[in-house]
A and B are shown apart, each in its own frame.
Chain A
Amino acid sequence: MLAQHTPLLVAPTDTTALGTAMVEPEAVLSDAPTYAPEAAGFLLLLALVSPKEPKEPKGK
């Protein structure tokens, strides 16, 4: 049972640590979206289904 625990000692640092854990701050660094070529999937798709550039026509 709970009461059977030996007396627990709390240091001031424990209290401070608890206070910090109770109020988690927001993330310091943002990871907001930025330019991402790999995210432009539709471009890749377009490139895959579009015809190859034709060669220079002869006689030109």
Chain B
Amino acid sequence: MVAEHVERADDPKAALAAIRVVGADAFAPYLLADAVFHPQDAAAVTQSFALFPPPVTTPDPPPAGAAEPWLVAWRDWAMATLLARLTDAEPGGALAPRPTGAPVLTEADQPQGGGDTDGQDPGADAPDDSGRTDTDWQRWSVRMGQLSPLALPGLEGPVHTAARAAPLALARGATRAVLRRDFPTAARITRWLALLAAEGTRVPLDPVPLLEHLRLHGGGPRLALDVAIARRLLALETA
């Protein structure tokens, strides 16, 4: 499936880049449905990593480093890890190293105001002009959404731990995105809610009607993919 996409493309460079944009989700048909993974698919992914190599050293997590390269590094790790699993590669043979850290969430808006300085870099949590911090639930949930390809079975790490620790912030973030009519962001965040719900975690929001709403209201291939994967995670769709 992945190999076919590259074979048929007029612009092979763009096609190989697109593999990385889809990221670990390119493996969803093999993980969540019964698509058969071929060696050519692995070759296409490997070629994409050869053409667009991830940095040798992983970027520092924010606030020490910039957010975007770090998010890219996590997504590359997810894809490389699943590729290694599907090809039974040697341990440590993944094409991208594992970054450190997870999006940081501070509960600065809790009623009693506790925990606003517990060990975080105080400079990183300073409110901007609109009174928001870089670690509030709004930005945290958007960042988790940018890591939505990690919300697949078989991947595990600090980002997953962060998601499991904050179903409320995920639910608020998804709700906020729907109300802003930013449906692609809503779908990405809802992926995490779906993963948590599938694991048996109680989430403050029923993801099922929300996914149906997004499917009917949202547009674009990325949203369709996020919604389809979330529905698979919840076993709303089979085969």
Interface residues of A, Cβ cutoff 8 Å to B: 1-2, 5, 8, 10, 14-15, 17-27, 30-33
Contact = CB atoms under 8 A, between A and B. Distances in A.
Contacts of B68: 19-20, 23
A35 to B, nearest CB: 15
Contacts of A19: 68-69, 72
Given A2-B44, A27-B185, A22 B179 contact: no
B52 A26 contact: no
A30 B75 contact: no
Given A8-B16, A10-B51, A18-B52, A23 B71 contact: yes
B146 to A, nearest CB: 5
A24 B222 contact: yes
A25 B145 CA distance: 9
B142 A8 contact: no
A32 B181 contact: yes
Contacts of B71: 22-23
Contacts, number: 70
B184 interface: yes
27 contacts: A1-B7, A2-B7, A5-B12, A8-B12, A10-B13, A10-B52, A14-B17, A15-B52, A19-B72, A20-B68, A21-B17, A21-B21, A22-B75, A23-B67, A24-B184, A25-B142, A26-B142, A27-B180, A27-B181, A27-B182, A27-B184, A27-B185, A30-B180, A31-B180, A31-B181, A32-B179, A32-B181
Task: Categorize the interface residue count of chain B.
Answer: 20 to 34
Given A2-B47, A8-B12, A10-B52, A24 B146 contact: yes
B103 interface: no
B20 interface: yes
A14 B17 CA distance: 9
Interface string B209-221: 0000000000000
Contacts of B13: 8, 10, 14
Nearest to B188: A24
B80 interface: no
Contacts of A8: 12-13, 16, 51
A30 B184 CA distance: 13
B3 interface: yes
A26 B185 contact: yes
A2 B16 CA distance: 10
B177 A2 contact: no
A54 to B, nearest CB: 43
Counting chain A CB atoms within 10 Å of each CB, the highest count among B23, B72, B142, B145 belongs to B72
A22 B182 contact: no
B40 interface: yes
Nearest to B68: A23
Contacts of B6: 2
